[in-house]
Chains A and B, each alone.
Chain A
C-alpha cells in the first residue's frame, strides 16, 4: 500500500514538474502577451495542483495536508483573477489581440514616455 502511494505521488510530482517546464517554455517562446497568458495558466492550474496532490500523498500528519489544501484553495481563486487582471490591463493599455506584430513596437513608445 505504501509503495503504491509512493508511485502515485511520484507520478503526480514528476508530471507537475514537467508541466512547469512546458509552461515556462510557453512563456518564453510564444509570440504575444495573450498567447503567453495561455502558457502561464498551465503553471497555475495543472502544474501547481499536480505538485500539491503529489505532496499531499506524501504528507505525514493531517495538519500538513490541511495546509497544502489551503495553498491549493488560495491558488485556485487568485491565479485566474491575476491572469484576468493582466489581460484586462493589457487590453486597456492598448495591446491588440489581433496582430502580434504590432505589439512588439509598443516597447519603445512606453520607454520614451516614462
Chain B
C-alpha cells in the first residue's frame, strides 16, 4: 500500500514541476514550488513508513517549516526587491 501511494505522490510532484518550469508569471512558479514542497513533506513521511524508519518524520517536520519560510521569503524578495534592509 505504501509503495503505491508513494509512487502516486512522486507522479504528482513531477506534474507540479512541469508548471514550475513552464508557468508564465513568477507567481505561478512560486505557487508550484510551494505545492511541490507540501508534497515533499508527505513523501518524506511516506518514505519513513515505507522503510520502517520513523526518524524520517523529524526531517519531514523540518521541511514543512522550511517550505513555509522559503515561500514567504521568495515572495517578499520578489515584491520589494530586497529582504527588508534599509533603502
Please list the residues of chain A having a beta carbon within 8 angstroms of any beta carbon in chain B: 9-10, 13-14, 16-18, 20-21, 23-25, 27-28, 33, 36-37, 40, 43-44, 47-48, 51-52, 54-55, 58-61, 63-64, 67-68, 70-71, 74-75, 78-79, 81-83, 85-86, 89-90, 92-93, 95, 103-104, 106-107, 110
Q: How many A-B residue pairs have CB under 8 A?
A: 148
Report the Cα distance A28→B38, complex, angstroms: 16
List chain B residues, Cβ under 8 A from A89: 27, 75, 78-79
Report the Cα distance A105→B13, complex, angstroms: 27
Q: Is the CB of A43 within 8 A of B31?
A: no
Report the Cα distance A58→B1, complex, angstroms: 11
The interface on chain B, measured as residues whose beta carbon lies within 8 A of the other chain's beta carbons, has a size of: 44
Please list the residues of chain B having a beta carbon within 8 angstroms of any beta carbon in chain A: 1-2, 4-5, 8-9, 11-13, 15-16, 18-19, 24-28, 30-32, 34-35, 38-39, 41-42, 45-46, 49, 54, 57-58, 60-61, 64-65, 67-68, 71-72, 75, 78-79
Report the Cα distance A21→B61, complex, angstroms: 22
Question: Interface majority SS on A: helix, strand, loop or mixed?
Answer: helix
State which of A9, A36, A47, A82 has its C-beta within 8 Å of the C-beta of B28: A36
Report the Cα distance A70→B58, complex, angstroms: 10
Q: Is the CB of A17 within 8 A of B9?
A: yes
Shortest Cβ gap from A42 to chain B (Å): 9
Shortest Cβ gap from B66 to chain A (Å): 11
Q: Is the CB of B42 within 8 A of A86?
A: no
List chain A residues, Cβ under 8 A from B28: 33, 36
Known contacts A24-B16, A81-B72; 14 further A-B pairs (Cβ under 8 A): A13-B1, A14-B1, A20-B39, A24-B13, A27-B31, A27-B35, A43-B12, A67-B54, A67-B61, A71-B45, A82-B34, A86-B27, A89-B79, A95-B27
Report the Cα distance A10→B5, complex, angstroms: 9
